[in-house]
Amino acid sequence: MDDPSRDFLTELLETPSPSGYETRGQQVWIDYVDQFADDVRTDAYGNAIAVHEGAPDASGAPEIVLTGHADEIGFIVKSIDGDGFVRLGRIGGSDPSVSKGQHVTIHAADGPVEGVIGQHAIHLREDESETDIEDLWIDIGAESEDEARDRLEIGDPITVSSTVSWLSETRLAGRGLDNRVGTWAAAEGFRQAVETGTDATVYAVSTVQEEVGGNGARMVGFDLEPDAVVVVDVGHAVDYPSAPSEKTSQMELGGGPALGRGSTNHPAVFDALRSVADERELEVQIEALGVGTGTDADGFFTAAGAIPSQVVSVPNRYMHTPVEVIDTDDLEEIATLLGVFASRADEFTPFAVDI
C-alpha cells in the first residue's frame, strides 16, 4: 500500500463516524475522491456520491456503483443522573461485553468530553451474568447533573477512544474497521477504474446509517438506479483460537476477498467478479449468505425495482469490538477487483439471470 492510500485509510479510521453523525468522516472521504472524480455530491442525509462520467459515445454502457458504509457503531447520551453520571444507549450493534472499562469520547458541541465506562472491581463482583447497555454508565469526572450538562447534552454521540494499531506490516487493528475499510476500497477501486479508463459511468458511494438499518443504501439506490452495485463490507474471519467456525463460512485473514453467494447476491455479478479474480490470479473465498447479507446490498437491491447487487467481504476478526483486525493485502486485492470490474463492466452486461 503506497503512502497516500495508507494515510487515507488511517485518517478514515481515526475520524469518528457513528451512525447518524457521519459528517466528519464523510468529509475525509470526499476530500480524497474529489481528486479524481468528475463530480462529488451529497444528499440531505449525508450520503456521499462521486461520479466518473462514461464515454459520451459509448451507447448502452452500464452504470456501476462501488460502495461501502461510512458509519460505525457506538453509543448515544441517553440521560444524565443527579450525580453527573452519563447513561448511554446503543448506536447500532454495540456489544456490552467489551464495553465495560473502556475509555470513551463524547462528541459534544463544544468539543470532545473524555470519559470511562465504569466497571465494578473484580473484588466486589458477585454476579457475572450478561450486562445490558442500559446498565452501563460513563464517568466524566462530574460531581452533579448540572456540571455534566454544562459539558454535554442528551443525544451527543459516543465512540470508544481507540486508535489504529499496525500489528504487523499488513495486519491492522482498531475500532470501526466495520466499515471504513469498505469506503476505502470503494474509493480506491473507483480511482483505479478512472486511471485505467472505462466506457461505463462509475459511482463511488459512501453511505450513512448502515448499522441502524441500511437506510443510506435505500436512499442512494432510489436516486441512482444503477445497472449493478458492488457492496464492500466486512465478514467474519474465524481463524483464531476457539472461534465458533461452525456458525459461518470458513473465512481467514490473508485468504483474499470473500464473494457472497445466495439471497441478495446476484449470480451474474458474482460470476463477473469471480472471472476477473481468476484472470488477475486473485485468490477469493466464498461466503454463504442464504438469508440476506446484513449489509447495504439488502438496501440497494430492491431500492428501485431490482438492482443487481453483490457483496464482497473483507475478512475481519472480532467484529463489533474495539479491536477488529484485518489483513490489508485482502483489502488491496478488493480494490483491484473493483477497479478491474468497473473498467470492464460493459463486457459483463446485461446483469440478468437466465430463465
Catalytic residue annotation: 210
Residues 6+ apart with CB under 8 A from 124: none
Q: Tell me the three cell numbers of residue 200.
A: 461505463
| CA distances for 293 relative to 262, 299, 307, angstroms | 9, 10, 15
Query: 95 forms bridges with which residues in the sheet?
Result: none
